[in-house]
Amino acid sequence: MLQTPAPISLGQSILAFLTRWALTSGFVAVSVVLLALFALGGLTRLDSMAMDQQFRWLSNLHQENAIDDVVVVGIDEASLKEFSVPVAILHRQIGGFFEAMALGRARGVGIDVVLPAVSFDHVQPGLDAALARGMIALRSVAPLVIGQTAGADGQLRAIHPLYTTLTGPEGSGMVLVIKDNDGAVRRFDERIGVDRQELISMPGRLARRLGAPVQHGIVPFYNGAPMPYVPLKEVLGLKANGDIAGLQQRFAGKVVLLGTLLDYDDLHRVAVALAVGDAPDATHGVFILARQLHSLLKEDLIREVPPQISLLLILFATCTWWFKPGRRVYVGVAVAILGVIAASLKLLLAGWALPCASVVLAMAAGLGGRAVWVSLQNAAERRHLKSAFGGFVSPSVLEEILSGRLAASLNGERRMICVLFSDIRNFTTLSEKMAPEAVTEFLNRYFELMVGCIHQNGGTIDKFMGDGIMAFFGAPRDVDNPCEDAFRAATTMLIKLQELNGEWEKENHQKLSIGIGLNYGPAFLGYIGSKDRHEYSAIGDAVNLAARLEGLTKGSGYPIMVSSTVLDSLPQVTGFTDLGKQAVKGRSDAHVFGWKPSIKGSVPLVVET
């Protein structure tokens, strides 16, 4: 027989729509934040930092790859000390270097030393001729590219016409390196002029003259061991000694770059150390140019994923928002993040830069945002439940239910608890003289104070029985000493009753007295009833005896009676009277102790005698 589904009410439809709208709005909010970060460059910087870390990981795997096609000759402190001349007038030494490269059969030569715009023959006659002779000697052997820079106004700085004539129209190139917004060098790009006008670089010029295609991209600085350098004084020493074989052994078929390696001069930050003895945050510019040239010759520059693709990847990663937070989802997303990191490393080796950090952040932001949304939703629901049902169950029970530690099933557990029963003496006779509304108001004022005493001491209200109260201590949450908490609650109830009697006396109401019974023992706790209607309650002999002890207070002169198990659990409590074994209806005799407050220093409590 076919069953028709239950109709969905208008309220349910509206609630479902509002929930979907709130979910969609949250997803849109997280996406907008990520898009704003992407547009403002915040994610780009994060991706760059992540790529630096990946370069460091990969560098440990590729340090066995020695770079042998590009050699750096350095003008270091030791060389300058031997030459005894400043860098500005190293004409003879640089000319000698050119001649040595011609003898060594270098494949190509570039210098990261800016030549002067004017002649220095007035300082030392013959400087220009010495440099020119070296250029002429090298010109017929290998292409030469001299470095050029730009001034603060963006205009190229002039070089003495003698040198530019000897090198030809394709004999110069920029020796500036592009830095990202965080000050680190990561890429090769010649679009550094006004409005991204292309300005030919020294590495780019050399690569073109050697027949290699020139593209823009990220330099794989990780690929290769730190480069050594040959001091300029050593090169000139080989030339002076006529050691042509030594020069060819070091430089034949290789591209040679000459640059300064002076302390605190031309230092830049890169992801990994490029030179032997240099630190990543203090690498000399000539080594960066050498690595750029090496990548141009090897054609292994890393291409960046187009911005449109990056944007789509970020938006797709944000879809983790739609996963309901939970242990399996967290583990799954964590595995996916590790997969993204592994894939980005694989793509780097293949020549593509994936926005790894952006994708990982988007995945974390999506799931984290949903977790926050769920948390806020649960908090709002908890507040609603506390507001709606806080008066139906004790705070401890409600907290356990909301936290999930107390399942809403009919299963229970056996625990040691201290049970409290209290009852108002002669309330039936008193209520006969009052209207039902007045009785209700009367009881509500009384219960407000008594329940407060129980809850403040960690007790749980089991039920109200007319003017009586049943409560227990030690469940659903464990406490150190349930009996101590229960006895403190009982004595506080007497104090509050005294205060309430003072108010009622002014209102011409009759004073009340109460009896309280306490017993400690095992009981079964759980939801008692049917699946459709049940309550969290305690049953067992420990409960029955507590009720009987409360009954024994009538006419005894003791507002509180406790069993021996309670007294044995109380730490250093005085004022109890041993009442011996008392007959208890429905069970064997019980050893009972009575307690009543001292009247010293206080107004006597009203206790029926």
The pLDDT tens digits of the residues spanning 508-525 come to 877 889 999 999 999 998
Task: Assign 477 a pLDDT band (cuts: 50, 70, 90).
Answer: confident
**Average pLDDT across the chain, whole number:** 86
**Which architecture does CATH list for 395-595?**
2-Layer Sandwich (3.30)
Please choose, from the candidates 108, 111, 106, 68, the residue with its C-alpha nearest in 3D space to the C-alpha of residue 87: 111
Q: Does this model's pTM top 0.85? A: no
Consecutive H or E run containing 429:
helix 427-431
pLDDT for 343 equals 94
Domain ranges of the chain: 19-41+305-376, 63-303, 395-595
Task: Assign 106 a pLDDT band (cuts: 50, 70, 90).
Answer: very high
Q: Report yes or no: 454 and 401 within 8 Å, Cβ to Cβ.
A: no
pLDDT for 389 equals 47
pLDDT for 604 equals 35
Q: Report yes or no: 349 and 342 within 8 Å, Cβ to Cβ.
A: no
Task: Assign 559 a pLDDT band (cuts: 50, 70, 90).
Answer: very high
* Residues of the chain above pLDDT 90, percent: 56
Tens digit of each residue's pLDDT (9 = 90 or more) over 184-236: 999 999 887 666 778 899 999 999 999 999 999 999 999 888 899 999 999 99
Q: Report the SS3 class of residue 435.
A: coil
Calpha distance 395→417 (Å, rounded): 17
Task: Assign 387 a pLDDT band (cuts: 50, 70, 90).
Answer: low
In angstroms, what is the C-alpha Rg of the chain? Answer: 45
34 CB neighbour count, 10 Å cutoff: 23
Tens digit of each residue's pLDDT (9 = 90 or more) over 137-170: 999 999 999 999 877 666 788 899 999 999 998 9
